[in-house]
Amino acid sequence: MVTSVNVSGLSKSYNTGSGAVPVFLDLSFQLAAGESLALTGPSGSGKSTLLNILCGVEGVDDGSMQVLGRDGATLTADQWAGLRRRRVGVVFQDSNLMPAMTLEENVKLRADLAGRSFGPVRDWLARLGLAGLEQRYPDQVSGGQRQRAALAMVFAMGPDLVLADEPTGSLDRHTARDVADALFHWQRTQGCGLILATHDLALAERCDRRLDLAEGGQG
């Protein structure tokens, strides 16, 4: 089995004024290519922190990890940036779009950074139900539409791994399901890895596996 992500013995703590505060200790898990993993756990359990570590914007204290076949210990900051640019897509709870650009321009920017052509950009938007809204600015569409545009950006860059931090967290149930449908459909057809942090158990159920950080154990 080809692994997308391989983490073993990972420890992370934050240095605050009152000493080091551990977030997790000795965390290990694997993600196969084309597999989806739900990160769950109460607030403050370290879901976002783990996603940050996996895309290289946060360092670790101990342990090893491989992301898309690259050894996290040897990757420089610029090499991490290269990974994020072309192979690892990131989706946040909101504010995924540049506010001064239209939806279409946002998607084009993301595709351009990943070195992809603009050809399918409108297509992605249309498939996510955003046809006719391409020239709107983010503040001119609904929250669900914004998140779908954020997905369009990820789809347009064509990553091998997607890290999503509560992508439906600020949406109502119905809208959240639409967005999740689009995400899972695309992930399955592309055979791309997905790690999704969420409080929504229904959403977590839709993933192949689940890793509960409160328990700090294996998924």
Partner 1 sequence: MILRAVLSHYRRHPLQLLALWLILTLATALWSGVWSLTGQARDSMTAGDSQLSGRQQVVRSDGAPVTVADFASLRRHGLCVFPWLQVATDDARGQVVGIDPLAMACSRGAATGSGFSMDGQPFVDIAEAAERAASGHSATLRLYVTKGDASLPEGWQRQGDPGGLSTGELSDSFLLNLDALGLLVVLVSALLIRSVYTLGLAQRRESLGLLERYGVTRRRLRLHLLLELMVLAALGVVPGYLLGQGLADVLAGGFGAALGNLFETDLLATGESLTGFLVTLVMMILVVLWCGLDLLRGNAGRTRSKAHPVMGAVLILAGMVLVVPAQSLVTVFLGTGLVLAGAGLMTPALLGWCLSPSPHMPPLKLWRRRELGVLAGRLALPLVALQLAAGTVIAVHALVSTFEGTFHEWLDQRLAGDVFVEVPEGKPLAPAATWLESQDGVAQWHPVLRGAAGLGMNGENRQVDLMATDTTSTLIRQWSLLASVSQPWQALADGDVLVNEQLARRQDLKPGSQLTLVIADKERVVEVVGVYADYGRPAGEVLVDTRHLPDGFVSGFRSLTIDLADGSGGVSRSDLVAGLEAAWQVGSLQVRDNETIHRLATRIFDQTFALTRSISYLTLLLAGVALLMTGWVVLRSRAWYFGLLSAWGLTHRQRRQTITMLTAEFMVAIWVAALPVGIALTWVLVDRINPVAFGWTLPMAIYPGYWLELLLLFGLAAVVVGWLASSGRTEAPVQAPRLDGGQER
Residue numbers of the site for partner 1 (CB under 8 A)? 48, 51-52, 55, 57-58, 77-78, 81-86, 90, 92, 94-101, 105, 108-114, 137-139, 146, 165
- The answer to whether 16 contacts ligand ATP (rule: CB under 6 A) is yes
- The answer to whether 48 contacts Mg ion (rule: CB under 5 A) is yes
Query: Three-state DSSP class for 99?
Result: coil
Residue 159 CA to residue 178 CA, distance in Å, equals: 21
Residue 2 CA to residue 33 CA, distance in Å, equals: 6
Tracing tokens 């990890």 back to the chain, one arrives at 65
Hey, how many other C-beta atoms are within 10 angstroms of the C-beta on 101?
14
Q: Which does 23 bind (CB under 5 to 8 A by kind): Mg ion, ligand ATP, partner 1, none?
A: ligand ATP
The runs of H, that is alpha helices, within 41-93 are: 47-54, 77-86
Residue nearest to Mg ion (CB): 48
Q: Closer to Mg ion at the Cβ: 48 or 187?
A: 48
Number of residues that bind ligand ATP (CB under 6 A): 11
Q: Closer to ligand ATP at the Cβ: 39 or 149?
A: 39
Q: Which does 45 bind (CB under 5 to 8 A by kind): partner 1, ligand ATP, Mg ion, none?
A: ligand ATP
Q: Supply φ then ψ for residue 48, to 5 degrees.
A: -65, -40
Cβ proximity of 2 and 32 under 8 Å: yes
Give the interface with ligand ATP as residue ranges (CB under 6 A).
Answer: 14, 16, 23, 41, 43-49
Query: What residue ranges bind Mg ion (CB under 5 A)?
Result: 48
